[in-house]
């Protein structure tokens, strides 16, 4: 068996979930480095923005430590940009708000999810709220 065949066999034996994990991890790291470069900041400044130690941020940026949703949220807040996009997230929240307002069940915390709330008129003249 040649060295190429051996490497190919090893790659073929990697489970699909591991392939997905590695790709997503690398995509996140690429995005973080891209945002940091755009903003001209180093990991020390990022750590300061997040209220974290530089060592902890270094572990994330070097792929040594896994991200949690909380850490990703802190990173997004510190960098002022999205790192991960979830398809249709806005539509789900918009539908939930529309249903809750239509039924008269809206609570203030639902409204805080949206930057702008519009109340258009139906064709019959009645009001119903939708999120922009």
Taking the C-alpha atoms of residue 97 and residue 112, their distance in angstroms, rounded to an integer, is: 10
As assigned by CATH, the class of the 3-79 domain is: mainly alpha
Q: Is the pLDDT of residue 9 over 90?
A: no
Token pair of 49, please? 């923005």
Contact 101, 120 (CB under 8 A): no
Taking the C-alpha atoms of residue 74 and residue 83, their distance in angstroms, rounded to an integer, is: 11
Token pair of 85, please? 């996009």
Q: What does pLDDT average to over the chain?
A: 77
Contacts of residue 82, defined as CB under 8 A and 6 or more positions apart, other chains included, come to 76
pLDDT band of 110, cuts 50, 70, 90: very low
Which is nearest to 77 in space by CA: 94, 54, 102, 52? 52
Q: What is the pLDDT of residue 126?
A: 45
Measured in degrees and rounded to the nearest 5, phi and psi for residue 127 equal -90, 145
Angle formed at CA 39 by CA 44 and CA 81, multiple of 5 degrees: 100
Condensed to tens digits (0 to 9), the pLDDT of residues 73-102 reads 999 999 999 998 876 655 666 666 665 555
Q: What is the pLDDT of residue 4?
A: 76
pLDDT band of 13, cuts 50, 70, 90: confident
Asked whether the whole model's pTM tops 0.85, one would answer: no
Condensed to tens digits (0 to 9), the pLDDT of residues 16-62 reads 999 899 999 999 999 999 999 999 999 999 999 999 999 999 999 99
Q: Which helix (H) or strand (E) holds 62?
A: none
Q: Can you give the residue ranges of every domain in the chain?
A: 3-79, 89-131
């Amino acid at each position: 068996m040649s060295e190429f065949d051996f490497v190919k066999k090893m790659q073929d034996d990697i489970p699909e979930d591991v392939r997905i994990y590695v790709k997503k991890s690398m995509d996140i790291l690429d995005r973080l480095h891209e945002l940091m470069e755009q903003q001209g900041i180093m990991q020390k400044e990022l750590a300061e923005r997040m209220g974290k130690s530089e060592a902890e941020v270094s572990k994330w940026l070097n792929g040594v430590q896994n991200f949690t949703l909380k850490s990703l949220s802190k990173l997004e807040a510190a960098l002022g940009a999205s790192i991960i996009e979830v398809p249709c997230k806005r539509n789900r929240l918009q539908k939930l708000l529309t249903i809750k307002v239509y039924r008269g069940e809206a609570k203030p915390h639902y409204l805080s999810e949206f930057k702008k709330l519009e109340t258009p008129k139906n064709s019959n003249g009645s009001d119903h709220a939708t999120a922009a």
